[in-house]
Amino acid sequence: MSSLPILDATAKCLEELLVWHQVHHPQLSAQWQPLYELRDRLHQSAWHIVVLGQVGRGKSALLNALYGEAIFPVGAIHGTTQWPRTVRWHCQDQIVDLTDTPGLDEVAGSDRETMTWSVLETADLVLFVTQDSLTPVECQARDRLHTLRIPHKLILTKADLYPPMAEGIAVSSTTGQGIPELRQLLQQWLQQEAPQARALRILHQASQVEQSLGAALGPQDTSAWSWLSAQMVASLLLPGGLFDVVLAMISTLAYIRKACQAYGVPFPLPAFGGLSQFVLLWYAAIYLSSWSGFTFGSELWGVNTNVLLQGGVIFWGYQQIRRRLDPYLQQGYQWGHHGPQRLLQQLTQTRANVTASG
């Protein structure tokens, strides 16, 4: 898959989500409004690169060196940068918004740290700045970047003063060492990887929006009990065997459809591969339980034991279907045909195939 189709597929996914929620969940608009921002961000022409690191690591000096002018304030006193600031930078033919941020571990600087993380909401790439080793604060910040699925490059500044670590790109903003190479690397990343990285990140964020919508919707009444009792009564009254299986098919489909309607997700859900295998086994169990050879045709409390066995199988089957269905339903629309989870799965698979074949 090339870069632009990825952005197009992601745009289509967001459009469909928005249309679906406008129709089905107008009362929860606060939950799905962020999808508009994600859609707008998708096609922004400028890439957003943000610098991140502890105080005094040389973040601002690094951006100045990349930009080629002393545009951000640099100082020996920790906490020189007090709030995020962005400048537009032309990295050859790519437009980039470069954002400088306050340090992560500033004394009494939790507000500044919050500002920094909120800027990262829209980052396409993070330049993670450190020196010669990673401190616990830096390890935590890196883990958080992984959790948020924000792509980042490890930059080792002050290479004129410290020996480089095994991992990372060593640069010195003072001597200029490694800066042209870093610029070239960024340009390459912007051309080749940025569209896919942006699509993946936005899909991940859309998926979180869907999850919060699913949580706001809460468990819905899917009236499993009414389908279950109707099926049991009909199985008792009518002849068994294949007829019971047909009955089970109709009632399962009707039940799943009703559940999808209750949760406002499309029917049938494409993520039901595992469920359909279980349902087929369940039908086989219903068929076998009507076979008198299993119970020798005996009676218990005046009721044919086949009927009791079959009732038990039907009841157990419904419990299992509910257990398997609920996690999908509660995550809202994201498993739908153009849902973010489905697309994420496809993209991750495509990436894995490309890496394997490369």
Interacting residues with ligand GTP (CB under 6 A): 53, 55-61, 74-76, 78-81, 102-103, 157-158, 160-161, 172-174
Contact between 99 and Mg ion by CB under 5 A: the answer reads no
DSSP string, 117-180: HHHGGG-SEEEEEESSS--HHHHHHHHHHHHTT--EEEEE--TTTSPPPSSSEE--TTT-TTHH
Place of tokens 């909401």: 121
Considering beta carbons, is residue 79 or 266 the nearer one to ligand GTP?
A: 79
Which CB sits closer to ligand GTP, 21 or 112? 112
339 binds, among Mg ion, ligand GTP, none (CB under 5 to 8 A by kind): none
The interface partner of residue 103, options being Mg ion, ligand GTP, none and the CB cut-off 5 to 8 Å by kind, is ligand GTP
Helix (H) or strand (E) holding 338: none
Considering the rule CB under 5 A, would residue 60 count as an interface residue with Mg ion? Answer: yes
Looking at the Cβ atoms of 122 and 173, the one nearer to Mg ion is 173
Angstrom distance (rounded) from CA 173 to CA 177: 7
Segments of the chain assigned E as strands: 47-53, 85-91, 94-100, 125-130, 152-156, 169-170, 299-300, 303-304
| Nearer to Mg ion among residue 18 and residue 137 (C-beta) | 137
Minimal distance, residue 114 CB to ligand GTP, in Å: 15
Question: Minimum Å distance from CB 260 to ligand GTP?
Answer: 51
Host H or E run for residue 82 = none
Binding of Mg ion by 101 (CB under 5 A):
no
CA–CA dist 256, 67 (Å, integer): 57
Residue from the set 10, 54, 64, 81 that interacts with Mg ion by CB under 5 A: 81
* Cβ-based burial of 301 (10 A; exposed 0-12, middle 13-18, buried ≥19): exposed
To the nearest whole angstrom, how small is the minimum distance from the Cβ of residue 185 to ligand GTP?
17
Provide the pairing of β-strand 85-91 with 299-300.
unpaired
Between 60 and 331, CB nearer to ligand GTP: 60
Query: CB under 5 to 8 A by kind: which of ligand GTP, Mg ion, none does 158 bind?
Result: ligand GTP
Q: Which is nearer to ligand GTP, 75 or 274 (CB)?
A: 75
Strand partners, 89: 96
- Footprint on this chain of Mg ion (rule: CB under 5 A): 59-60, 80-81
